[in-house]
């Protein structure tokens, strides 16, 4: 059979590279009633090319060669789709993990740290200590026949019991107390202990006051941070800070009346806040009647008027009652004080707690 008489699509035995003829004749294009010609292969899922005639330019459609035997061409798209799905899953999982981690980090960042006051953590800072304890610190103005003594005190009960130094109120005719809110109340002296330089006074008609928390001076260590609050030179609520410089310092103070510190007495040239340490006298003559106690030494700035105020640890607890300081110029008898030079002393709060019962009963050892 010649080429001219070979049936359409028949394979020439000598040209085995040609594909076998299709099992059915090619589909012809169909023209709809609206005049739209639909070519074979158009439609959803047909794999066509969007309605473009696949046989354009040919008078007679030429059949496309079928896929090779074995179905390799058919499996490749499936394998490709599977690979794409796996990659998408991996990328999607990684994205989810990344988003989850970022969300977790954002949650950790956005969580606000609870605000804690000074009494609930050890590193609240000076500002936290001052905020927590300042309402419990007062200014004391004790009037005597020789003038007015100005010092500080610590509220220890809600109804107005206040601990201060004996030398602040010794011989006082009247005692006025200025609270942290600026209000003034009259107080009476309940008991004094000149041997420990401690005194207890009580506000008249007071209630609902914020009492300070008394700590444990036995746990105080050298180098511990401390805060001092008092009324130096009548400046109510003054806050200073420093560290514990030493423990168990033997400090000797006068037990006599008229040796207390104060602004009026300073103007009259009377030595203020006299004490002895290491065999030397500071800030004037302590007199013949003396008492010695073990003190906490601090470099927190103390000045006249801090006497009877609080020395506080960083938990907001009272660890001492400030009682003595060294002022160089007043040691020479000058009426002007040069202020604190970082040598201050406080009566340990354990001494105060042990003496409270006696003070409430009217006094301790003289």
Tell how strand 317-325 and strand 213-214 pair up: parallel
Catalytic residue selected from 152, 231, 301, 307: 307
Tell how strand 280-282 and strand 317-325 pair up: unpaired
Is 340 a catalytic site residue? no
Tell how strand 317-325 and strand 147-155 pair up: unpaired
Catalytic residue selected from 134, 152, 167, 254: 167
In eight-state DSSP terms, residue 363 is B
The Cβ-side half-sphere exposure at 317, using a 13 Å CA radius, reads: 18
Catalytic residue selected from 197, 299, 350, 355: 197
Is 307 a catalytic site residue? yes
346: three-class secondary structure by DSSP: strand
Question: How many angstroms separate the CA atoms of 338 and 179, rounded?
Answer: 27
Q: CA 127 → CA 131, 183, 308, 339, 340, distances in Å? A: 6, 23, 21, 23, 21
List the Cα angle 137/143/144 in 5-degree steps: 135
Is 72 a catalytic site residue? no
Which residues does the annotation mark as catalytic?
167, 197, 307
């Amino acid at each position: 059979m010649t080429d001219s008489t070979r049936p359409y699509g028949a394979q020439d035995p000598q040209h085995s590279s040609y594909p076998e003829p299709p099992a059915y004749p090619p589909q012809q294009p169909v023209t709809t009633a609206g005049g739209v010609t639909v070519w074979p292969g158009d439609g959803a899922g047909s794999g066509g090319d969007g309605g473009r005639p696949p046989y354009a330019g040919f008078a007679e459609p030429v059949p496309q060669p079928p896929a090779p035997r074995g179905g390799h061409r058919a499996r490749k798209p499936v394998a490709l789709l599977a690979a794409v799905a796996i990659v998408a899953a991996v990328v999607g999982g990684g994205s989810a993990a990344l988003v989850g981690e970022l969300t977790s980090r954002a949650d950790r960042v956005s969580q606000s740290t609870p605000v804690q006051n000074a009494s609930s953590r050890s590193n609240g800072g000076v500002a936290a200590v001052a905020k927590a304890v300042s309402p419990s610190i007062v200014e004391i103005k004790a009037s005597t026949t020789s003038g007015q003594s100005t010092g500080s005190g610590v509220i220890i009960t809600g109804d107005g019991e206040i601990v201060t130094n004996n030398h602040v109120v010794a011989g006082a005719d009247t005692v006025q107390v200025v609270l942290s809110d600026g209000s003034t109340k009259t107080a009476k002296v309940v008991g004094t202990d000149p041997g420990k330089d401690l005194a207890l006074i009580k506000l008249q008609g007071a209630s609902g006051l914020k009492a300070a928390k008394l700590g444990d001076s036995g746990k105080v260590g050298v180098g511990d941070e401390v805060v001092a609050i008092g009324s130096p030179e009548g400046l109510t609520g003054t806050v200073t800070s420093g560290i514990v410089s030493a423990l168990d310092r033997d400090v000797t103070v006068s037990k006599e009346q008229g040796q207390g510190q104060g602004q009026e007495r300073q103007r009259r040239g009377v030595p203020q806040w006299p004490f002895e340490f290491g065999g030397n006298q500071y800030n004037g003559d302590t007199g013949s009647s003396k008492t010695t106690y073990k003190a906490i030494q601090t470099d927190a700035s103390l000045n006249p008027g801090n006497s009877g105020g609080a020395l506080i640890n960083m938990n907001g607890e009272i660890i001492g009652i400030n009682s003595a300081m060294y002022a160089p110029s007043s040691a020479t008898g000058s009426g002007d004080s040069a202020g604190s030079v970082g040598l201050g002393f406080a009566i340990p709060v354990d001494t105060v707690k042990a003496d409270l019962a006696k003070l409430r009963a009217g006094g301790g050892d003289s």
